[in-house]
Amino acid sequence: MKWENSISKILGVRYPIVQAPMFGVTTPQMVAAAAQADALGSLPLADLPADQCIATIRATKALTPKTFAVNIFVNAIPPLSAELRTQYAQTKQYVAQLAEHHGLEVELPNIDQIKLTDYHDQVDAIIAEGCKIVSFIFGNLDAQSIQKLKAHGTVLIGTCTSVNEAIQLEQAGIDLICVQGIEAGGHRGSFEDHDIPQIGGLSLLAQVCEQVKTPLIYAGGIYNAKTLHAAKVLGAQGFQIGSLLLGTKESSLQEFEKQRLRQANESDVMLTKSFSGRYARGLRNAFIQSMENSGMVLPYPYQNKLTGELRKVARQYRNADFVNIWAGQSIHDYSSKSTTEMIQQLITEAENF
């Protein structure tokens, strides 16, 4: 298999394999381990405040001299209306009672205690830290941010879950497009948080490839040589892996979470808004089943902020029923090897396929 292509050249890596920026799972150690395999490590900054972005970037730089990507959320934030305040209070009470019923003592934040991040502050921090590759989800950067980042020589990677989103990214001048299929683990990168496109990854990849000229990275279900080659045949020049790395020694998941993953079957994996207010794919549990049809789920990011403390406490109790364990549809053994080993193994399999 010939690895060198336009994406490997743009990203400055030997192998156009991208370690997915999984917020809550990816650590600076995982990013460094991916870079050690001559792939692209991706550091998730999500919606962290600028000062935390800087600290996390510097912690990663201390582990690897190689270039890595940083990933941010560029979603719009719903205005804090009186209706939203009322809805928040109701959901808070519902979640608190649910936690108490299951023996979890948790103090949930009031809505005025929640701090939200403007991604424009993150952009300034990223530029100040000299990061040269920025990926993003939940929409598109505004024109001013695109211009500012490109003026500093930054490669931009947008995420699409539909042909229309891909076209918007290309028209905005985004350098690379990550095509995310519905089977991918974690949050949908969709521009909207409702009525999201539910298109199978390979079907979407083939259609996007016909509609845009921008080089494409594919994300969703890649866990072995066969799935990687399928994406390559349909037009991908880059290959993003996430769920494949969930069990690795650099993953921040606790052992009880990794064990739950290793026990998972097909019927356990589902899309839900229950934890964050945006659709994400992960393992079904008691919290999801209680929230799913409750009518109590808040819009993102308010639901995400509300449930954050609950998930923190549940992890302390090693309670898998109240933590979000994101995973894609490709069930596998979730190896505990290092990220470097897993990527090298995938490369070897692909070359011998």
Assigned token pair, 227: 């799935």
Q: Are residues 226 and 350 in the same domain?
A: yes
Q: Are residues 155 and 280 in the same domain?
A: no
Task: Give mean pLDDT, residues 77-105.
Answer: 95
Q: Are residues 27 and 137 in the same domain?
A: yes
Give CA–CA dist 126/23, Å, rounded: 17
The CATH number given to whatever domain includes residue 32 is 3.20.20.70
Is residue 330, in this structure, part of any structural domain at all?
no
Phi, psi for residue 137 in degrees, rounded to 5: -135, 175
Is residue 66, in this structure, part of any structural domain at all?
yes
At 214 the pLDDT is 98
Q: Are residues 46 and 133 in the same domain?
A: yes
Q: Are residues 172 and 108 in the same domain?
A: no
In which residue are the tokens 């505004």 written? 142
Contacts of 247 (CB under 8 A, 6+ apart): 253, 258, 261, 262, 333, 334, 335, 336
> Average pLDDT, whole number, for the chain?
97
Q: Are residues 50 and 165 in the same domain?
A: yes
Q: Are residues 138 and 47 in the same domain?
A: yes
Is residue 157, in this structure, part of any structural domain at all?
yes
Assigned token pair, 125: 């921090």
pLDDT band at 293 (very low <50, low <70, confident <90, very high): confident
Q: Are residues 130 and 221 in the same domain?
A: yes
pLDDT band at 215 (very low <50, low <70, confident <90, very high): very high
Q: Give the total number of structural domains in the chain.
A: 2
Q: Are residues 84 and 134 in the same domain?
A: no
Give CA–CA dist 30/19, Å, rounded: 8
Contact 298, 88 (CB under 8 A): yes
Is residue 242, in this structure, part of any structural domain at all?
yes
The string of pLDDT tens digits covering residues 100-126 is: 999 999 999 999 999 999 999 999 999
Is residue 329, in this structure, part of any structural domain at all?
no
The string of pLDDT tens digits covering residues 119-164 is: 999 999 999 999 999 999 999 999 999 999 999 999 999 999 999 9
Domain that holds residue 111: 78-115+254-324
The rounded percent of the chain whose pLDDT value lies above 90 is 97
Task: Give mean pLDDT, residues 293-317.
Answer: 96
Contacts of 143 (CB under 8 A, 6+ apart): 172
Q: Are residues 222 and 260 in the same domain?
A: no
Q: What is the DSSP letter of 297?
A: P
The string of pLDDT tens digits covering residues 312-330 is: 999 999 999 999 999 999 9
At 18 the pLDDT is 98
Nearest alpha carbon to residue 243 among 5, 26, 13: 26
Q: Are residues 304 and 158 in the same domain?
A: no
Q: Are residues 66 and 144 in the same domain?
A: yes
Is residue 233, in this structure, part of any structural domain at all?
yes
The string of pLDDT tens digits covering residues 252-285 is: 999 999 999 999 999 999 999 999 999 999 999 9
